[in-house]
């Protein structure tokens, strides 16, 4: 009898142990959440630069598996990946994955064993703020060695370092924003020495060059701003070949007199001669069948108006990305396109998906500057403005802000949905 009782006790204990383990393992799937922004990136690992597996839309439900630092591991559309915690709203409190936390703690301890001098040197090399470039180098769209080049940054050009990731520095020049290898920047010691030698007691003021000359607007339409900044108030809008009297030049801007008031225009939008204009177009109107409807619509022949929207859009390259933003203080993708076209009298729907019903459909082979280009895997969740040469300008993401990208390779090529002509 005792032997049978002992066997029963052992079996019961084993059963309880197995059930406990089952519930412990199941506890990692801890709840659901909703995407709280217009578009959220589902990444392969808990890293801002990790591969994007899917783009999730606002209010989309996801299954939360666990919390790891500032990230949640989730399952959406049958795909498991990571989403930043500020992009979703979780239905209940999630306990952080202790196994991951312990691993991170172990890694931190391992890293802390490195020589103290080496750690200090690294800190100096990744100093944020004003730095100088040590040699001519290409500015990359993303922090990858074979990424598309944006512009060339010249030796000794001063740039603003805003972020350091895996040996890459995100920098801002006077005109754009992108990535270069951090070794292309002067170290902190050299920077501090130059600061003492070159700067007086007060920071350098903008260099103002007094001039007096007449120039002409060289694009279809330009904005005259109250101050020399793309975020400054617009006080006038001038058509092509308008003559303006330039009285001073300030860091790439021309100070002009317009209707008795002082204003500023980007110097690159002015020329010494008037532009030749033509109302004719040799390109025929092409009937295009829109993917999302069963009706056939005809895209208008390029009028040149789209180029004016491109010129306006480029003025905001470098502005930061803000979810729900629709002004120069911060844009999201559809907020950016809406803001640009509103300045040209065109009203667009507020979301990327909504803007796919604006204008008329355009075949990819007939894209013209100013066309809206849309992307997504399960529906449309991103939009940009085509600028020609296979490139678009768009509000990309929080780490890159308003920038340019190719639509002919990588994610945007693989997830291209269609285009709309709205001007």
How crowded is the C-beta side of 194, counted as CA atoms within 13 Å?
11
In three-state form (DSSP H/G/I as H, E/B as E, the rest C), the secondary structure along 242-271 is: CEEEEEEEECCEEEEEECCEEEEEEHHHEE
207 touches 191 (CB < 8 A): no
SS3 381: coil
* DSSP SS3 for 391: strand
Please measure the distance between the N-terminal and C-terminal CA atoms of the chain and give it in whole angstroms.
92
**Cβ count near 293 (within 10 Å):** 10
3-state secondary structure of 273: coil
- The residue count of the chain comes to 423
Please state, in angstroms and rounded to a whole number, the distance separating the CA atoms of residues 36 and 43. Answer: 16
139 closest CA partner among 129, 131, 147: 147
With beta carbons less than 8 A apart as the criterion, state whether 369 and 387 touch: yes
Active site residues: 333, 382, 394
Burial status of residue 34 (CB atoms within 10 A of its CB: 0-12, 13-18, 19 or more): middle
Distance of CA 239 to the CA centre of its chain: 30
Half-sphere exposure of 195 (CA within 13 A, CB side): 15
């Amino acid at each position: 009898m005792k032997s049978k009782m002992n066997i029963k006790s052992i079996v019961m204990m084993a059963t309880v142990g197995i059930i406990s383990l089952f519930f412990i393992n199941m506890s990692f799937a801890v709840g659901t959440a909703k995407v709280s922004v217009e578009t959220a990136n589902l990444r392969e690992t808990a890293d801002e630069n990790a591969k994007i597996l899917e783009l999730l839309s606002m209010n989309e439900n996801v299954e939360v598996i666990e919390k790891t630092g500032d990230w949640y591991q989730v399952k959406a559309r049958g795909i498991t990946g990571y989403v930043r915690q500020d992009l979703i709203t979780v239905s209940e409190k999630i306990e952080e994955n202790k196994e991951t936390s312990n691993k991170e703690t172990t890694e931190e301890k391992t890293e802390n064993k490195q020589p103290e001098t080496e750690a200090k040197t690294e800190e100096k090399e990744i100093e944020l703020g004003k730095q100088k470039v040590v040699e001519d180098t290409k500015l990359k769209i993303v922090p990858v060695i074979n990424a598309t080049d944006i512009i060339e940054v010249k030796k000794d050009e001063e740039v603003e370092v805003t972020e350091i990731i895996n040996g890459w520095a995100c920098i801002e020049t006077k005109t754009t924003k992108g990535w270069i290898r951090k070794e292309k920047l002067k170290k902190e010691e050299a920077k501090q020495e130059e600061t003492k030698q070159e700067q007086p007691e007060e920071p350098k003021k903008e260099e103002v060059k007094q001039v007096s000359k007449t120039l002409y607007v060289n694009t279809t339409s330009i904005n005259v701003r109250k101050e020399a900044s793309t975020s400054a108030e617009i006080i006038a809008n001038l058509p092509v070949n308008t003559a303006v009297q330039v009285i001073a030049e300030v860091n790439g801007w021309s100070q002009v007199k317009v209707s008795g008031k002082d204003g500023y225009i980007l110097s690159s939008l002015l020329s010494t001669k008037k532009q030749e204009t033509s109302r004719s177009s040799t390109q025929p109107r092409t009937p295009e069948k829109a993917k999302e409807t069963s009706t056939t619509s005809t895209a208008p022949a390029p009028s040149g108006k789209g180029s004016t929207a491109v010129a306006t859009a480029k003025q905001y390259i470098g502005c930061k990305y803000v979810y729900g933003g629709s002004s120069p203080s911060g844009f999201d993708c559809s907020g950016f396109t809406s803001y640009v076209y509103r300045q040209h009298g065109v009203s667009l729907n507020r979301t990327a998906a909504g803007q796919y019903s604006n204008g008329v459909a355009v075949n990819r082979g007939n894209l013209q500057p100013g066309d809206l280009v849309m992307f997504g895997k399960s529906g449309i969740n991103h939009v940009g403005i085509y600028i020609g040469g296979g490139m678009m300008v768009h509000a990309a993401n929080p780490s890159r802000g308003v920038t340019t990208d190719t639509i002919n390779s990588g994610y945007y090529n693989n997830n291209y949905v269609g285009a709309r002509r709205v001007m």
